[in-house]
Amino acid sequence: MKEAKENVEKAKSPWIWKAAVVALPTGLLLSIVIAVALRINRGPDNGMLNLSYTAAELNVANLRDAVGKAEDLIGVRDFDTPAGQKAMQMMTAFIEGSIGPNNMGYQVYTDEGEVSGGRIWKNYWIDSSKERGDGTVLVACEYGAEDSSATVAALISLAEWLRGRTFERRVRVAFCRDLELTDLQADFSDKGRNTVIRVGPLGQGTEGLLKTGGATKDASVPAYYEIVGNPGVSSAADWKMTTAWEEYESQVRALCEEVRDEAVEKVVVER
């Protein structure tokens, strides 16, 4: 009886193997088709995935998440100490991961970098479009400054806010090792109007935005502005859990509006 039962089991088993043999090539073919489709659909020249993004207002939940990661998880960083450099590497990875193809869909550009503390540190930036249009609006911050976590989070949220919007002028959002921005202006149009906005410390109990700088009479020279948070009342508590957070939200919204005005958003009329 035992031998007969084993023979029955052997007789039943071949269909399983036949199914597996058939399914394996089918699965591989399906994987290849999906991979090719994703490759083809990498879409517009600015490197964004070929998806239809709808313009939306500031995503407060993502802003809060970005601030928490930049300030609490990554924390204090510098170019010189092992701990500071480790935090710096975490910050650059966080920036690339947040704005890159697998998240926001942007192509992330970098320069060759400069050496500090025995390591190479690069600038990272995204463009709202490949075409320069009527010039470029460069919005930049330092990712290595001690008090820059809230500012980095603000520019990440700005990059997200840009999706689904079109402008008369290209918008470039840059996260820099320092605020020497000459290289980031190398491809500025000499026929358009260019603007550089350097964003300093935001949040941390500051109130509103202080904007300084301006344009010169020479249209070939970019207009330079610096935006920082106005000094406010510091709190011993975590500022993200107080009314200071609401003020920070307002600062980031105001920054988005500054960019909207400088780059001149195009209004798309639905028909």
Task: Please enumerate in sequence order all residues whose Cβ is within 8 A of that of 119, keeping only pairs 6 or more positions apart, or say none.
Answer: 79, 85
**Where is 15: in which H helix or E strand?**
helix 14-40
Look at 8-17, 153-162, 220-229 and tell me which has the smallest mean pLDDT.
8-17
pLDDT band at residue 269, thresholds of 50, 70 and 90?
low
Give me the mean pLDDT over the 250-269 stretch: 91
pLDDT of residue 154: 97
pLDDT of residue 96: 96
pLDDT of residue 40: 29
Task: Please enumerate in sequence order all residues whose Cβ is within 8 A of that of 201, keeping only pairs 6 or more positions apart, or say none.
Answer: 145, 147, 148, 150, 151, 228, 229
Look up tokens 């919007």; give the residue.
Answer: 165
Write down the architecture of domain 60-263 according to CATH: 3-Layer(aba) Sandwich (3.40)
Give me the mean pLDDT over the 35-61 stretch: 53
